[in-house]
Structure 1
Amino acid sequence: MRQLFWFWYALFLIGLLAVLAMMRSNSGAVLIMSFDGDAIHMAQIVLRMQAGQVPHLDFLTPLGAMAFLPIVWLMDLGFGVGGAFAYAPVMITLVMLPALYWVGLSRFAPSGALALGAVFLVQMLALVHGGVAPTVTASMYYNNWCWAVGALLVALAVVPSRLNNRWTLLAEPMILGVGVGFLLLTKATFAVFLLPALILALLIGRQFKMLAFSVLWSMVFLTCITLPLGGLTYWQGYVQDLMFVANSAARGQPGAPLVLMLLAPAQIVGVLAVLTGIVFLRQARKSGSALVLLALVAGWVLITHQNWQNDPHWLIPAGVLVLALARDVELYNRFGWPLKRALQIVSVMLMTLGMPLLVTQIQSLLIHNSLRPDRFAAVFRSPANNDLRFRGAKDGDYRIDRPFTALASSGAKPTVLAGETLPDCQKSTGLVAELIETGKRLDQMSQAKGAQTLYADWINGLWLFSDTAPLTGGAPWYYGGTPGFAAAEFVVVPLCPMGQDVRRMVLSEIEQDPALSFSEVLRNDLFILLKQD
């Protein structure tokens, strides 16, 4: 059986990929249960890109083009936005499956290879970003892609290969270079914080040729992807957007402060466990591996800190890594502990601590496969995109409840518009329903048809629900400042937004900019409409 593991491992990867891929679509659609705003954010960007617009040049986003291009490519082949979203990670996984197969066989025992393969596939194809709540969402799917690809690259660079042949010399630099390029063009923080550890691992392992050829492959990949998007101009815009968001008061730090995050129960046990593993590696005379693991931990922690909800998805990959590094350890420490067994215990601890997140992601696919499509509605105006549906609908029509569910925001600063203090209200649900109703009411105004319209909330996607147009140079998700505001002909101010502080920031930015002037032209129970003077 062990001698035929190469066959059973291929069968395992292909079979699991097929099963998980089928679960990403339910009756030909993706059914969104929560975080509706994230699905609208994704839909805005891919539809704008399909129309020929370029991220960072035509609209502001801190995410790289590869977070959306796989979806756009499938839409160009005829898929709707839901179907393209469902199968984009399947397409990416098919491309990377030979690399996953090779890394598993060349660097791990069967148990480690199976663990790496399962984590990679579940992470890539999950329909939830993390957390512990059972749900289905498009929220931060690009983080899942980066965690999966990052784990594969770490295993490739850090764990010594047991097989050395022409494939190693030719293919491994390509895997590493293209993988780093993918991370950089998907979410740059993953590449920035993992790259030092990857380079350190190659230098300590004296893999200078692999490092050089990896850099070459990375440059080839980055050039091929970004040259059609504008080349140097694209990179200038990308860096500017990253710097803008990093300094943004609205989104510069999406989670808790770093120290508080590390002290949280979900983090501190894992960090202490991996630091213990580093001590054991030093005692086992693997100082190089210990140093690389320390650099990895720093990178993983910083990545986690930059991601909303601060989910430590690095725990299981760290456990698999420690298990592989313990393989040839035979020494005992001065307390008489067998260090191989000690490292194996640390590995089991790390993987156990990471299991709740993995279980949540597996559940997302099982839940999605069990949902009733008739309880979800297609909400976008274009029938071509009816394969992305949202919960809360029955018989294809959304029910608008008044008043909307709201959260008391007694600690929030008041929002003042033209000397009037707006209601202290913040929605917890009802975003899609309100956008639909707002779009209908705007369509009753002939002046609003084709007009670029700013929505004073987190999400700026009214054009998906009405005959209005997206903001030129605007931000599909608000990060602060006035991006695209000068092009706005109308501003819709919701009376009960998803982000009360965001509404206040938008109106404050308009008030402070002398080049922007808007006056009220309409008011109802949903919003106040301002028109450019």
Structure 2
Amino acid sequence: MDKPLKEMGMRQANRTSVLIVLMAAILALGGMAIAKSGFYLGKHEGDTLHMVEIVSRMAAGQLPHIDFMTPIGALAFAPIALFKANGFGIGMSVLWAQVLMALAFVLPTFWVAISRFPRLLAAPYGFVVMVLILALVHGEAESGVSISMHYNRWAWAAAYVAIPAALFVPQFARNSLFDGIIIGLMLSVMAMIKVTYFVAFAPVIVVALLMTGQLRAFGIAILTGLGVVAILTAGMGIGFWLAYVADLQTVAGSANRAAPGLPLASILAAPAYEGGTIAAIAGVIFLRRAGANAAGMGLLLLIPGFIYVTYQNFGNDPQWLLLMAFILLAHRPDQGDERATITGIALMSIAFATPSFLNLAYSPFRHFNADVERFTPLISGTPDNADLYTLTARAIRVDATVALDTEGQPYAKWQDQSGRDAPVSFKGETFGNCALDSGITAYFTDVSSDLTEVGYQGAKLFTADLLNSFWLYGEFEPLTGGAPWYYGGLSGFADAEYLLVPLCPLSVEARELILTEITETGADTTLTEVRRTPLYVLFEKG
């Protein structure tokens, strides 16, 4: 078992200073975001519509997995839905929900900071956790403000709390009850936000608790987790868990969303990631040499989980690098070559993480300074969504990517050599290879208006595309069992009255997968074309 760090000559953090840092971060980052009185996006409008649909359904009393399909856990959207259900606009609901989550994390973050980290690390550790929760971009170095994948940030924050609580020997304060409750709650948060994190880190946390001799905390963590499950089951029923698992299985077998980024081999060894992987392996070696056996073994066991979560998240941003730096710095010996080497490895990890972290930390200030004259509402014509804005140039300037080497196009003679998949034929028609790059507000507004003008208001539409969001723009009905984002399968198709096929969709791949599955199930034989425009073809189900 590793020695408590106070036996290595490190001093306890000033508790007041840590608490001040946590509250100051919430006041500065959360306050700066709220002060804008609206949410101004710079990118990822499609992901935002996905979020808005889920939040709107939950605010109306629907349950994820039961009433609609999503592999993302209910806690990822429940705080936002709470504010929307109480009269807030969707934009301010997002911003206030981030503050609420940060406040909920104050006590567990404070406890882990003062009980696990020495004086010089406790406050920076707490600040990083708050930044993960309150940022207005998912990470990477691209500066555009976005709420996309906010749940990944929140789940990383839970991991940043649970992993040190389990892996570090309690140093400056001991309370197995607090430790167990915090670890159990953080694991529950991961499971109820994005189960990928739970699968990746729960086994390591269990092993870490045993390695560090925290047996009582281990037992309390299990009881806490079981208590959360019991409470949720009492409120939503056993069917909620079965439906959650079914949604996860759908995504695991999806042809387009099982892994939304680079191949696993690239996350291990591509130039952008290889430095972090090498630093992690070196950290394990030198922690073990320095006598920090539990920390070294724990870091070794964490590496596969770090890589797996990075692989599963869009953008493949290695948010684990700062956590590894905290693990290394907290377990340096007082002196000797190992101290200098471990410090060097930690600084390498910090350097690799700096572009993404600075982007996260500065994003609320960038959002506050946005020029509102350049923005327009993302969802037109709905007062409760009017405080959610996106760049006008992205919302209504319609650009598309069109394949010019397909039949009927000027470079058609190169089609056989291009490596492009053959287009899908649906009901005897081959749709062109065109995908929208921008203009999402114009797309949904125009199609919704056209459908309304010809008398289809109130209809239940299933869209052969990535998003099925027309009901946010017009008087249409959301589909029971429908999926706000296409993950595979035909979720909600059974409840639909019409199939809408965009001629230039958001995703050609999603459209072709949907049309192929409809054909394979024989459902195409029940469809009759009832309307055709330059934007879409509408089929009625017989």
Structural mapping, 1:34-73, within 5 Å: 34-73=43-82
Q: Which residue of 2 aligns with 1:382?
A: 382
In structure 2, do the counterparts of structure 1 residues 143 and 44 end up closer, same or farther at CA, with 3 Å as the change threshold? same
CA contact (8 A) 2:39 2:95 kept: yes
1:283 and 1:434 map into 2 onto residues whose CA distance is: 60
CA contact (8 A) 1:32 1:389 kept: yes
Residue matched to 2:121: 112
C-alpha deviation, 1:287, in angstroms: 2.7
Task: Give 3-state SS (helix, strand or coil) of 1:522's partner.
Answer: strand
1:479 equivalenced with 2:454 (yes/no)? no
Q: Does 1:215 align with 2:210?
A: no
Range with bigger deviation, 296-305 or 5-14: 5-14
Contact residue 406 and residue 496 of structure 1 kept, 8 A: no
* Equivalent-residue separation in structure 1 for 2:108 and 2:41 (angstroms): 31
- 1:217 Cα offset (Å): 1.0
Describe the SS at the equivalent of 1:521.
strand
Write the distance in 2 (CA, Å) between the matches of 1:214 and 1:38. 34
How many angstroms does 1:528 deviate by? 1.4
Q: Which amino acid aligns with 2:213?
A: R
CA distance in 1 between counterparts of 2:114 and 2:249 reads: 40
1:459 is matched with which residue? Answer: 467
Give the C-alpha shift of residue 26 in structure 1: 5.3
Unaligned runs of 5+ in 2: 1-10, 406-419
What is the CA distance between 1:178 and its match in structure 2?
A: 0.7
- Indicate how the Cα distance of structure 1 residues 460 and 409 shifts in structure 2: closer, same or farther if over 3 A, else same: farther
What is the DSSP-based 3-state SS (H/G/I as helix, E as strand, rest coil) of the residue aligned with 2:34?
A: coil
1:305 is displaced (CA, Å) by 0.8
CA contact (8 A) 2:400 2:434 kept: no
Of stretches 381-390 and 343-352 in structure 1, the one that deviates more from structure 2 is 381-390
Match of 1:242 among 224, 229, 248: 248
Q: Which residue of 1 aligns with 2:401?
A: 406
Determine helix, strand or coil for the equivalent of 1:83.
helix
Aligned partners of 1:408, 1:287: CA distance in 2, in Å?
56
| Percent identity of equivalent pairs | 33
Q: Deviations over 1:354-380 (max 9, x none)?
A: 111111212322221111223322224
Aligned to 1:335: none
CA distance 1:407–1:198, shift in 2 (3 Å): farther
Q: TM-score, normalised by structure 1?
A: 0.93
Residue type of the alignment partner of 1:358: F
* CA contact 2:435–2:504 (8 Å) conserved in 1: yes
Are residues 1:308 and 2:314 paired? yes
1:24 match: secondary structure:
helix
Deviations 1:491-524 (A, max 9, x none): 2211111211111111111112124522222122
1:142 to 151, 156, 159: 151
Q: CA deviation at 1:6?
A: 2.1
Give the equivalent residue in structure 2 for 1:192: 199
Unaligned runs of 5+ in 1: 333-337
Give the CA deviation at 1:409.
7.7
Contact 1:409 1:426 in 2 (8 A): no
Equivalent runs, 1:351-390 vs 2, <5 Å? 351-378=350-377, 379-390=379-390
The separation in 2 between residues aligned to 1:329 and 1:460, in whole angstroms, is 58
- Helix, strand or coil at the partner of 1:185: helix
| Offset from partner CA, 1:81-125 (integer Å, 9 cap, x none) | 211111112111112202211211222123311221121111111
1:269 aligns with 2:275: yes
Amino acid at match of 2:423: P
SS at match of 1:261: helix
Preserved contact between residue 329 and residue 339 of structure 1 (Cα < 8 Å): no
Question: Is 1:254 paired with 2:260?
Answer: yes
Q: How does 1:114-129 map to 2 (within 5 A)?
A: 114-129=123-138
CA gap 1:426/1:393 in 2 versus in 1, 3 angstroms: closer
What residue in structure 1 maps to residue 512 of structure 2?
A: 504
The answer for the alignment partner of 1:317 in structure 2 is: 323
How far apart are residue 30 of structure 1 and its match?
A: 0.6
Letter in 2 for 1:478: Y
Residues 214-262 of structure 1, C-alpha deviations (whole Å, 9 max, x = no match): 111112223334432x221100000111111111112112122211221
Distance 1:226 1:356, change over 3 A: farther
Kindly provide the amino acid, as one letter, of the partner of residue 26 in structure 2.
Answer: L
Counterpart secondary structure, 2:40: strand
Question: Using the alignment, how far apart are the partners of 1:457 and 1:367 within structure 2?
Answer: 32
CA distance in 1, matches of 2:402, 2:122: 47
2:40 maps to a residue whose letter is L
Matching residue of 2:346? 347
Distance in 1 (alpha carbons) for counterparts of 2:231 and 2:342: 42
> After the TM superposition, which of the residue ranges 303-312 and 380-389 deviates more from structure 2?
380-389
2:314 aligned counterpart, secondary structure = coil
- Structure 1 residue 318: deviation in Å? 0.7
Find the aligned partners of 1:199 and 1:3 in 2 and give their Cα distance: 26
Distance in 2 (alpha carbons) for counterparts of 1:407 and 1:137: 27
> What whole-Å deviation, never above 9, does each CA across 1:431-487 have from its counterpart, x for those lacking one?
2220111111111122x2211101211111110011111111111100111111121
1:103–1:155 contact (8 Å) kept in structure 2: yes
Deviation at 1:8, TM superposition (A): 2.1
* C-alpha distance 71-223 of structure 1, shift in aligned 2 (>3 A): farther
